[in-house]
Chain A
Amino acid sequence: MSAASCDSIRAALPWFVGEELEPEHLASVRAHLVDCFACRAEASALQQGVSRLQRAAAAPVAGVDDAFFGELHRTVVSRVEAMDHAEHRVAAGSPGGGIRAGLALAAMALVGLGFWLGRGTESSIFDRRPLATPVSIESATGTSPALVVPWSGPRWPAMRPLGNEADSDLGGERAGMMARDRLRDLVDERMVLPPRQAPPR
């Protein structure tokens, strides 16, 4: 019997004693144990370990009998029923609880939305240029009392509504919301142009 084969057989012994070995290995282990005394002793020691464990588990335990389990059953069932009743009481005791919870959630969502809109520095709705002093050149020189309504939108050009600067050739101070109005006018003008006529044949 070679040492290598003994090693491989011993590696399989913990499964052999628990009858967990695959059938294809079972026959070879059995054949080896017939001839090898050392491996047989090892298998016997492992088998005794399993048997000892089972015997110890089967030994009676003081105080654990049918009465013990009857009491355990009553305790568990009463505990679970009390828990269930308490949950039902909570649910039944607050008929408008669902609506209140919904309103609270909606309020939280609104607050969250406000924070989301105000997040960061550049896109903050709170980060607006304060209204300028309503004074124009005319009012400063006293020629006209007309007030100038300043741009009260985002402070930086990058914060203006996108798309206008690229589409419009107006740019500059007219970019932004004002330019969008201008674009709309341009489109309207185009719409009133006479339809394109077909080229003469």
Chain B
Amino acid sequence: MLKANAAARPGSFAVPASAAVGLPPGLPTAVLQLAEDGAISDAELVRRTLAGQHDPFSALVARYQKRAFWIAWHVVGRVEDARDVAQEAFVRLFRSLDKYDFTRSFYTWFYRIVMNLAIDSLRKIKSARGQCLDDVLPTLTDEREEAGDVPLQRGEESGQVWSVLDKLDAKFRAVLVLRDIHGLSCREIAPILKVTHATARWRLHRGRLMFKEHWERAQGGTEQ
């Protein structure tokens, strides 16, 4: 049961290799052991946290902080906002740990918190852009478009990809991020976004078509 729960966690996904899934450095030994021990499920860590221990929660943060940050970053597109979303997600998680349903998977529940916060953050950014474009534009550049050490052509492509993704509605964007970048299945995405499996599949279908159409339009525009 514990092994099964630990194995149910989504594995690798498309993030920079330098900051792929792994534990952050400088963890206390007790936390490191808890976080690395595959036999200790997420639910068990929640149980121990509810019993009043701090280390298990620290281990949960170590296990999920990279995933939380990258999901937020792929949705909002700014490191600062993504970091705030990840922090707030863990604070909310801690506050609502007693509401955790132990029959459900932990990461689905946690991803839902992250995704909701990320979409809220994105909407705030977009409304700020819409309200006062000239004032806030210099501070609201999408950092995904400025990937530092990447070869120029690949960096340009990344920028174009993110600007195309920006044009999609948040609900399509969320499905594309969770499916195509983070490798979750539609069955896993559905409870995260609180939609049915059929809706998740439909959004994925529409999202991929829309992404292709916007991309082709953007390429046509640059060629002209």
Partners in one complex: yes
Interface residues of A (CB under 8 A from B): 14-15, 17-18, 20, 45-46, 49-50, 52-70, 72-77, 79-81, 83-84
Looking at the complex, which one of B57, B94, B157 makes contact with A52 (CB distance below 8 Å)?
Answer: B157
Shortest Cβ distance from A52 into B: residue: B161
Residues of B contacting A14 with CB < 8 Å? 204-205, 208-209
| A66 and B19 contact, CB distance less than 8 A | yes
Determine if B111 is an interface residue (Cβ-Cβ < 8 Å): no
Looking at the complex, which one of A57, A67, A75 makes contact with B74 (CB distance below 8 Å)?
Answer: A57
| B19 and A83 contact, CB distance less than 8 A | no
| B94 and A45 contact, CB distance less than 8 A | no
Residues of A contacting B101 with CB < 8 Å? none
Q: B48 CB to closest chain A CB, in angstroms?
A: 14
* SS of A interface (majority): helix
Given contacts A15-B204, A54-B14, 9 further A-B contacts (CB under 8 A): A14-B205, A18-B204, A20-B204, A50-B180, A60-B19, A69-B24, A69-B65, A72-B83, A76-B65
A50-B180, A61-B143 are known contacts. Are A66 and B24 too (CB-CB below 8 A)? Answer: yes
A20-B186, A79-B87 are known contacts. Are A72 and B149 too (CB-CB below 8 A)? Answer: no
How many residues of chain B get a CB closer than 8 Å to chain A's CBs?
59
The stretch that binds A, out of B38-46, B113-121, B128-136, B210-218, is B210-218
Determine if B201 is an interface residue (Cβ-Cβ < 8 Å): yes
| A59 and B204 contact, CB distance less than 8 A | no
Q: A174 CB to closest chain B CB, in angstroms?
A: 62
Determine if B54 is an interface residue (Cβ-Cβ < 8 Å): yes
Residues of B contacting A72 with CB < 8 Å? 24, 65, 69, 83, 86-87
Residues of A contacting B73 with CB < 8 Å? 61, 64
| A57 and B65 contact, CB distance less than 8 A | no
Shortest Cβ distance from A62 into B: residue: B148
Bitwise, B88-99 to A at CB < 8 A (1) or not (0) is 001100110000
| A59 and B155 contact, CB distance less than 8 A | yes
Residues of B contacting A50 with CB < 8 Å? 180, 208
| B87 and A57 contact, CB distance less than 8 A | no
Q: A148 CB to closest chain B CB, in angstroms?
A: 66
In the assembled complex, the Cα of A87 lies from the Cα of B22 at a distance in Å of 32
Looking at the complex, which one of A17, A49, A60 makes contact with B16 (CB distance below 8 Å)?
Answer: A60
Residues of B contacting A62 with CB < 8 Å? 143, 146-149
Looking at the complex, which one of B25, B157, B205 makes contact with A66 (CB distance below 8 Å)?
Answer: B25
| B74 and A84 contact, CB distance less than 8 A | no
| B61 and A76 contact, CB distance less than 8 A | yes
Residues of B contacting A79 with CB < 8 Å? 87, 91
Residues of B contacting A46 with CB < 8 Å? 208-209, 212
Which B152-185 residues sit within 8 Å CB-CB of chain A?
Answer: 154-155, 157-158, 161-162, 165, 176, 179-181, 185
In the assembled complex, the Cα of A15 lies from the Cα of B27 at a distance in Å of 41
Top 10 nearest A-B pairs (CB, nearest first) are A62-B148, A56-B161, A69-B24, A56-B158, A14-B208, A57-B14, A54-B14, A60-B16, A70-B24, A57-B181
